[in-house]
Amino acid sequence: MVSLGSHLKIHVPQELRDRAVAFYVGVLGCERIPSRSDAVDMLRLPDGSVIGLFSVPSPEALPEDSCLRSTWLELMCTDVAGLRRRILDAGVREVSYFDKNHFYFQAPGGQVFRLADESER
């Protein structure tokens, strides 16, 4: 059996670090956990998954437009409408996509996510 693990690594330009951390903690409900590097913010989602936000100089991070052509991730939640509203209220960009049954957005730093209801699991 093969499955995805519970740890994700995302590069974030240094100048977006504070905004990205504020988004993941304040909007998505992540908990900050200890990191072994000053350049990495370790964030635990309520389900236990861990996101490592690696703060890098801008030339080392993918430009936001390139992230649209990179790997997209899915977030599952029990209140899609409420989380969608919090995401948009945070000024995060909605991504237009042919799948109109889900909400797609680009987090600070460029990573694209699809928001889906937990019942779809």
Residues 6+ apart with CB under 8 A from 78: 117, 118
Q: What would the pLDDT profile of 39-76 be if each residue is shown by its tens digit? A: 999 999 999 999 999 999 999 999 999 999 999 999 99
Query: Which overall architecture, per CATH, does domain 7-120 show?
Result: Roll (3.10)
Would you list the domain boundaries of the chain? 7-120
DSSP tag of 30: -
Between CA 105 and CA 110 the distance in angstroms is: 9
Residues 6+ apart with CB under 8 A from 89: none
Q: What would the pLDDT profile of 1-12 be if each residue is shown by its tens digit? A: 787 889 999 999
Cα atoms in the Cβ-side hemisphere of radius 13 Å centred on 83: 21
The reported pTM is 0.93
Continuous H helices in the chain: 17-22, 64-67, 80-89
Please write down the long-range contacts of 67-71, taking CB distance under 8 Å and 24 or more positions apart: 67/106, 67/109, 67/110, 67/111, 67/112, 68/95, 68/106, 68/112, 70/112
